[in-house]
Amino acid sequence: MQFFFNEVSIQGQFDDVEQFRSLLEALLRARARSPYLGAMRTTMTLADRPVAHGQTVRQVVQGWRGSPVASAVLAWVGRNGPFIEEDRLEEPDDLFQCLGVEVTDGGLGEAARRMKARQDAAAVSLPGGNPDFGITPLPVVHGFEDEPLGSYDVLNFWNADEALDATLALEPPAMTWRATIESARARFPHLVLPDALWEDRRLARDPFEGMIRDRIYVLLGLLNVYMADRAAGGAEGPIAQDIIRTHFGGDRALFSGESASNQRDFANELTFSDSEGGADIFAHWHGKISHRHYRIHFEWPVPAEAARLKVVYIGPKLTKS
């Protein structure tokens, strides 16, 4: 499945720029977790689409200068892509329209061209415009609407979480610990997940269970989103700060450090080799899976210069007396 961003769904409909920012943040989180959404193509004209009060996407986002959201959005739409223009299918009768709007050169046009070529394609839109692209499927007409050459119903998402769920369902569920780690690598690019995780005998000899696999993905996903919202030098953006506030403190925290006594009594068990050749890592911070008492240990605090968080152990609880 190939995803294309529907840039014409941004039509100046956002009286509240913070609503636009919230939608972008959700989309960035989803792109960080899904290789399908991470590879979503857009057009170079997206940066010039109107958002609110006569301001374009580029102008609005530049107003957030210094925030991780601004850096991520500008890198995507202004520099890194991927862009439709880099891999556009040729079509001799190149005219596509949707809901009365010409979409030939944009995401919906390319999605329709892909479908015409019998490729799986879907769109991601923002809702609330006029016309409102918050519907699925989107009826894309090939040619003139009164003399169509064809019509293509493009699967469309306007909720980032629903798009993410759909992409995660595209791949068969991992049925081994090794497949779990390998799938997690593709989903969570801001984490270091070495082969040593599934090669560790403490995990390898423990029976695989899908319930634990799914909780591993939840915890790793939170760590990945945290890292995605860190700026150069380790400054935490608002999303990262919220993860710390919500999941790293309190009696029901998903992540915590070992007690001082456990750090002392299990120092050897909590010390791990660095898969990237650095000094050994004392990793007493861990994510907790209550079912069968599983733990995910990781380097914490994350060094300021680190772009990815190192996960050093996944398996049964290490501090059992």
Taking only the tens place, the pLDDT of each residue in 279-318 is 999 999 999 999 999 999 999 999 999 999 999 999 999 9
Residue 41: closest CA among 161, 121, 99: 121
147, β-bridge pairs: 144
pLDDT tens sequence for the chain (321 residues):
899 999 999 999 998 889 999 999 999 888 888 888 888 999 989 999 999 988 999 999 988 877 777 888 888 887 788 899 888 999 999 999 999 999 999 999 999 999 999 999 999 999 999 999 999 999 999 999 888 999 999 999 999 999 988 987 887 889 999 999 998 987 888 899 999 999 999 999 999 999 999 999 989 989 988 998 888 789 998 888 889 999 998 878 999 999 999 999 999 999 999 999 999 999 999 999 999 999 999 999 999 999 999 999 999 999 986
SS3 assignment, position 288: strand
SS3 assignment, position 106: coil
Q: What does DSSP assign to residue 258?
A: P
Cα radius of gyration (the chain): 22
* pLDDT at residue 290, rounded to an integer: 93
Which long-range contacts does 231-240 make (Cβ < 8 Å, 24+ apart)?
A: 231/66, 231/67, 231/68, 231/71, 233/304, 233/305, 234/302, 234/303, 234/304, 234/305, 234/306, 235/68, 237/67, 237/68, 237/69, 238/67, 238/69, 239/25, 239/29, 239/68, 239/69, 240/68
Residue 26: C-alpha distances to residues 31, 116, 171, 251 (Å)? 9, 30, 22, 27
CA gap 96, 73 in Å, rounded: 27
- Contact at 8 Å (CB) between 296 and 286? yes
Each residue's pLDDT tens digit, 132-165:
999 999 999 999 988 899 999 999 999 999 998 8
| Interhelix angle 17-33/160-168, nearest 10 degrees | 10
* pLDDT at residue 11, rounded to an integer: 95
CA gap 292, 213 in Å, rounded: 12
Residue 201: closest CA among 313, 278, 319: 313
- Termini Cα distance of the chain: 48
SS3 assignment, position 13: coil
Query: Tokens representing 130?
Result: 């006029």
Sign of CA dihedral 136, 140, 145, 150: negative
* pLDDT at residue 129, rounded to an integer: 93
* pLDDT at residue 321, rounded to an integer: 67
Query: Tokens representing 10?
Result: 């941004």
Residue 312: closest CA among 290, 301, 300, 296: 296
Sign of CA dihedral 209, 215, 221, 227: negative
The full set of domain ranges for the chain reads 2-163, 173-316
* pLDDT at residue 87, rounded to an integer: 86
Q: Count how many residues are written for the chain.
A: 321
Sign of CA dihedral 69, 164, 85, 100: negative
pTM, to two decimals = 0.61
* pLDDT at residue 305, rounded to an integer: 92
